[in-house]
Amino acid sequence: MGVWHITAPGTPPSRAPPAHHVYQDHTLTFCNPWDSAVKPSVADLVQGLQWGERGTPSPQGGSVDATEAHAPDSDPVPLMPDPMPTETPDFAFDPGAARAKATWLGHAGVLVQLPPVPGLSRPLRALFDPIFSERCSPSSWWGPRRAYVAPCRVADLPTIDFVFISHNHYDHLDIPTIDQLWTHFSDTVHFFVPLKNKAWLLQLPLGLPADRITELDWWDEAQCRVQASDAQVRIVCTPAQHGSGRTLYDAGHTLWSSWVLEHGPDMFRVFFGGDSGFCMRRADEPLGAPSSFPELPAFREIAQRIGEPDLSFLPVSVGATYAYVKSFDPLPDWLSPVPRLHEGLTGANHMTAADAVRVFQQMHEARAARPPLAIAIHWGTFVGGREDVQETVTRLQEACTHYGIPLVRHVDTLTQPTFALLHHGQSVSYSGGS
């Protein structure tokens, strides 16, 4: 049965099917129900092809020297060392010194540690979209491969309570990692997945019991407690604009999501953005100007309905297939006949760094009592090389500069909304507010 007792009320049978539910031949599939879920036209794609030396566009248009980009009233943030370092994670956590501790494990994988709840004598630990495999692919011999090694092994992790999966793409739902997590933490671990991912996991030869997987639809929630104690953990499955599928034939057959974890009587909130788009943008539209396409309204709605998150994990790199393939072009940009593609054209499916900072702002319009912290995810791991890492860092620097958000490499006591950029295996502690 495990340590945790999970209560997840089912959907009332009288409720009308939500807009993201689609039935094809009496089979439930899923879609993105917003006007912001658009795809570029052929003309947009042609306009977005880029040749020659890559210049990092500033949010105002033009180009900026990234070494000088910094948020107002803050010291310049240096670019990542080249190569980006990987450190062995330090999982020690003192609940008396910090409200939470987060460790970036690469790509979208994050470990969050929170103070104990009644009935638990150690920190509560939640793992989001973990992947420890060398490749994010159906094969261990081909497909996207790590540019930076995993900072640790599954066996090196401390005891895990919750594992959250945002969707079933290979870089977010890694079967060897799930298998190892169950092998090492079967006494405690509980999995949370969006709709129809539970049945998919149960048909695999992993031995996961059905009662250790909780499946939720958007806006459904679960209450978690340690056996007979009071529930002090609330889990909410929240919307995202993306997709799913592991073959050519199962696109949209399982749901994708973001997640909110609310912890303790002070309702400390963790938001995991997973893999979501935000807004498509044509190549001739400056990143800081309003796009001619709608923005995804879901993030603002999440903050309004559930409450503003204290600690957020937001994707900052488009991660599109074309961009990844292009990264293996052996010729320098100035010589290559193979063009790049403007990142804004895939922004409806993968938010850009500028989008992530904009989302951070939208989720904190009411200015909660505790200053929020956002940590960049979905970047710097399954990339073609160092140049891709530096480009993402530069774009995030410029976006933070434009929107007036400090960008830091190390977090001390928070006094204002802040964005953090970590290297693999690095941890930050949240100690802001009261």
Which 3-state string (H, E, C) describes the chain? CCCEEEECCCCCCCCCCCCCEEEECCEEEECCCCCCCCCCCHHHHHHCEECCCCCCECCCCCECCHHHCCCCCCCCCCCCCCCCCECCCCCCCCCCCCCEEEEEEECCEEEEEECCCCCCCCCEEEEECCCCCCECCCCCCCCCECCCCCCCCHHHCCCCCEEECCCCCCCCCCHHHHHHHHHHHCCCCEEEEECCHHHHHHCCCCCCCHHHEEEECCCCEEEEEECCCCCCEEEEEECCCCCCCCCCCCCCCCCCCEEEEEECCCCEEEEECCCCCCCCCCCCCCCCCCCCCCCCCHHHHHHHHHCCCCEEEEECCCCCHHHHHHCCCCCCCCCCCCCEECHHHHCCCCCCHHHHHHHHHHCCCCCCCCCCEEEEECCCCCCCCHHHHHHHHHHHHHHHHHHCCCEECCCCCCCCCEEECCCECCEEEECCCC
Higher pLDDT, residue 368 or 428: 428
Residue 294 domain flag: yes
Higher pLDDT, 229 or 216: 216
Is residue 35 situated within a structural domain? Answer: no
Q: What are phi and psi of 373, to 5 degrees?
A: -125, 130
Can you give the pLDDT at residue 210? Answer: 96
Is residue 92 a part of any domain in this protein?
Answer: no
| Range scoring the smallest mean pLDDT among 15-29, 165-179, 223-237, 383-397 | 383-397
pLDDT at 48: 77
Whether pLDDT at 29 is above 60:
yes
**Confidence (pLDDT) at 56:** 47
Per residue in 134-171, pLDDT (tens digit) is 998 887 787 788 989 999 999 999 999 999 999 999 99
Position with higher pLDDT, 325 vs 180: 180
Q: Two tokens at 391?
A: 């480009």
> Could you tell me the residue range of the domain that residue 144 belongs to?
98-430
pLDDT-derived band at 59 (thresholds 50, 70, 90) equals: very low
Q: Is residue 55 part of a domain?
A: no
Is residue 339 assigned to a domain? yes
pLDDT tens digits, one per residue of 113-122: 999 999 999 9
Average pLDDT over the chain, rounded to an integer: 87
Residue 62 domain-assigned?
no
More confident site: 344 or 90: 90
Confidence of residue 286 (pLDDT cuts 50, 70, 90): confident
Per residue in 193-221, pLDDT tens? 999 999 999 999 999 999 999 999 999 99
**CB 46, CB 357: distance < 8 Å:** no
pLDDT of residue 17: 86
Residue 319 confidence (pLDDT) above 80:
no
Domain total for the chain? 1
pLDDT over 70 (residue 74): no
pLDDT recorded at residue 71 = 41
**Amino acid 219: pLDDT:** 97
Is the confidence at residue 76, as pLDDT, over 80?
Answer: no
Cα separation, 347 vs 326, whole angstroms: 18
Question: What's the average model confidence in pLDDT over 49-77?
Answer: 47
- Comparing CA positions, the residue from 219, 303, 311 lying closest to residue 264 is 311
- Give domain status of residue 9, yes or no: no
Does pLDDT of 392 surpass 80? yes
What pLDDT does 320 receive?
A: 56
Identify the weakest region by mean pLDDT among 14-23, 162-171, 368-377, 423-432: 14-23
Rounded Cα–Cα distance for residues 354 and 233 (Å): 32
How far apart CA 20 and CA 30 sit, in angstroms, is: 5
Any idea what the CATH number is for the domain that residue 112 is in? Answer: 3.60.15.10
Q: With a cut of 60, say whether residue 77 has pLDDT above it.
A: no
Give the model's pLDDT for residue 94. 95
- Band (pLDDT 50/70/90 cuts) for residue 63 is very low
The pLDDT value given to residue 57: 43
For 324-377, the pLDDT digits (tens) are: 566 666 777 777 787 777 788 888 999 999 999 999 999 999 777 799 999 999
26 assigned to some structural domain? no
Q: Is the pLDDT of residue 222 over 80?
A: yes
pLDDT of residue 313: 98
Confidence label for 426 from pLDDT (cuts 50, 70 and 90): very high
Structure tokens at 246: 């592991």
